[in-house]
Amino acid sequence: MPYMMIKFRTMTVDAPKRGLEITVGGDPRITGPGRFLRKSKVDELPQLINVLKGDMSIVGPRPEVRKYVEAMKDDYSRILTVRPGITDYASIMFRDEEGLLGKAVDPEKMYLAEVLPRKVALNLEYISKMGLLEDVRIIIRTLASL
């Protein structure tokens, strides 16, 4: 179910009209302060309001743009049954996703062919192991990666 995820603005107001729905290293749509907020992951802090509202959990599959959910609809039918989270296995593994995609000749093609399938697999793995102990492990790994 779609909801409004709260984040600090890190991109120009017209960003959706000027590029892909993913961001890549050196993306000119990201503002100067936005680069710092993204690199430090401070842009994720307002999502704690989403957690308090019950829209999100601390740990759970990260929300994905509808276009990419549709690209892997069958897998997402299971993922979308779980409350989304601020952090997950994919957040840790793809901490520098922008940099990784920035090296690609075709970032969106790489995202669809390599990154998104891996994120989906990690989300499905999380769902199979879901529980307090696993969430604590992910929180500790997330803090260590910062």
Over residues 103-112, the mean pLDDT reads: 92
Confidence of residue 13 (pLDDT cuts 50, 70, 90): confident
Over residues 71-85, the mean pLDDT reads: 94
Q: Which two tokens stand for residue 38?
A: 């993204």
pLDDT of residue 1: 65
Residues across the chain: 146
Confidence of residue 128 (pLDDT cuts 50, 70, 90): very high
Distance CA 130, CA 133 (A): 8
Distance CA 32, CA 38 (A): 10
With vertex at residue 106, the alpha carbon angle to CA 105 and CA 111, rounded to the nearest 5 degrees, is: 125
Over the chain, what is the mean pLDDT?
91
Sorted by where each begins, the domain ranges of the chain are 15-145
pLDDT of residue 23: 86
Tokens 């829209």: give the residue: 55
Q: What is the pLDDT of residues 20-32, one digit of tens each?
A: 888 888 888 988 8
